[in-house]
Amino acid sequence: MENNLIITRFPPSPTGYLHVGGARTALFNWLHARHMKGKFILRIEDTDRLRSTQESIDAIFEALDWLEIDWDKGPFFQSERFDIYRKYVEKLLDSGDAYYCTCSPEKLKKMREKAMAAGGKPRYDGICREKGLGSGEDAVVRFRSPRTGTTVLQDTIKGNIVFQNNELDDFIITRSDGTPTYNFVVVVDDITMNINTVIRGDDHVMNTPKQILLYRALNSPLPAFGHVPMVLGSDRTRLSKRHGAMSVLAYREMGYLPDAFLNYLVRLGWSYGDQEFFTRDELIEKFTLSNIGQSPGVFDQEKLLALNAAHIKTVPPNRLVNRLSPFLKAHGYDIQPSPFIESVIKTLNARSKTLKAMAESALFYFKDEISYDDKAANKFLRPGVLPSIQLLIQTLQALDRFEEKDLEGAFLAVMEQTGLKLGKIAQPVRIALTGKTASPGIFEIIEILGKDRVISRLKKAVDFIMEKSD
């Protein structure tokens, strides 16, 4: 063991994209390792050659990169470790803890049917257990499970779980084609990688007694096991696509911040008092396995959205530029870090729930031509507002400085000369500048747009009103 460091791992199977449940497992292991100043290992469990794809491997890496979940060792690939697995199979064969079995699929089927007919579980009856068979073309290798006593899983989250050994059959550790099975390779990997803490979903609980028996047969210390409750949908059924169980990268495309997504994931089963909002550093500081609950987490899209909005508000504008950039690029605007874009973000971050929504709200800052919402234009861009807009154009043209205080003075001057209240002037101006009835503060957007563009847009609004009234 590496100086008794806590060593955790995340071992995804590359048979699809990284989803919510897998991302939460990765997060819990990563946070525990970071909190304990230990190590976090990434292992790709790609022994299923038919279903494993390079596309899925790349997608897993991309998702972890977006979430900024980094690893200290790896990635290791099980498909590259077959020589190691063969050595451990030989160890078990040599010690008598494993044996060859040549039962055909037909024979095994009848065996299971017979067991079920007798009221038992469909299981292998151990017929080859004492035959002393050697390797052969159709032979599998089975683990010799104890037939008496109990195997106890000391779970740091669920407490002790006792399994009767007579309920376990002699499970296969190597198939007839020579490929090792899941429960076996997981144990060999965890032993050889010095994994001493295994945090995973509670759908793995039933695998654990088999794995514990393998650890003991290989004379290796057990890791600390912790099985976290499942994530459910809002209707408390197993999480599926209709609940939001999409690829993690889909949330990136929808405009979620990685820190907000992590914040929400960790709260699906873990708590720290009543606190809901956490920065990444706070999570590392406060995360402990003892605060993982035993009840399933319920995935709620609205709560995730609210948490994302809260994170967007707190991130400094200069750190949002690169995050926002792809969403503006999708609309044809290739932005670079600048005081201008930071000012734009500053006007929108308190009112945007996602980066995608922020980009859509920001478009008026970049457009050469503003198109008016029909309903807004019909209500506010009417002949009666022409005198005030024309007066405002003259007043703004006369300004030497175009800062918020100067702009307020310009509007006050127009209000005094026309006798109109601010709203009667500001709302038509808002439509003229943004095309919509809702926007950031009128003085903020005027200052950011700048004198030339503001006056140009106001003049176009005057033309629009005059053409409409002809």
Domain layout of the chain by residue ranges: 7-79+230-305, 81-228, 317-362, 367-470
Instruction: Categorise residue 292: left if φ over 0, alpha if ψ from -120 to 50, beta otherwise.
Output: beta
Question: Residue 189: its pLDDT value, please?
Answer: 98
pLDDT at 44 over 80: yes
Q: What sign does the CA torsion over 297, 299, 303, 309 have?
A: positive
Residue pLDDT, tens place only, 187-201: 999 999 999 999 999
Q: Report which residue type is found at 100.
A: Y
Extract the tokens encoding 468. 């409409």
What residues are annotated to the active site? 241
Taking residues 43-58, report their average pLDDT. Answer: 92
- CB burial string 28-39: b at 16+ within 10 A, e below: bbbbbbbbbebb
Fold of 81-228: Rossmann fold (3.40.50)
**pLDDT category, 1, cuts 50, 70, 90?**
very low
Cα 295 to Cα 273: distance, rounded to the nearest angstrom: 16
DSSP state of 315: S
Can you give the pLDDT at residue 245? 56
Residue 242 confidence (pLDDT): 62
Whose tokens are 């650890």? That residue is 215
CA angle 316, 318, 323 (to 5 degrees): 95
Q: pLDDT tens digit string along 18-32?
A: 999 999 999 999 999
* Tokens 């190597």, residue located: 174
Q: In sequence order, what are the residues at sequence separation of 6 or more whose Cβ sits closer than 8 angstroms to the Cβ of residue 282?
A: none
Tell me the fold of 7-79+230-305: Rossmann fold (3.40.50)
What is the percent of the chain with per-residue pLDDT over 70, rounded to a whole number? 98
Q: Write down the residue that tokens 């600048």 correspond to.
A: 338
Per-residue pLDDT tens digits for 214-271:
999 999 999 999 999 998 887 777 776 665 557 999 999 999 999 999 999 999 999 9
CATH topology match: 7-79+230-305 vs 81-228: yes
Cβ 355 vs Cβ 255: under 8 Å: yes
Question: Side chain identity at 261, as an amino acid letter?
Answer: F
CATH C-level class of 367-470: mainly alpha
Predicted confidence (pLDDT) per residue in 278-307, tens digit: 999 999 999 999 999 999 999 999 999 999
pLDDT attached to residue 48 = 84
Sequential DSSP letters for 356-414: HHHHHHHHHHH-SSPPPPHHHHHHHSSGGGHHHHHHHHHHHHT-S--SHHHHHHHHHHH
Tell me, yes or no, if the pTM score tops 0.85.
yes
Please determine, for residue 372, whether its predicted confidence score (pLDDT) is greater than 80.
Answer: yes
Q: What is the pLDDT of residues 385-441, one digit of tens each?
A: 999 999 999 999 999 999 999 999 999 999 999 999 999 999 999 999 999 999 999
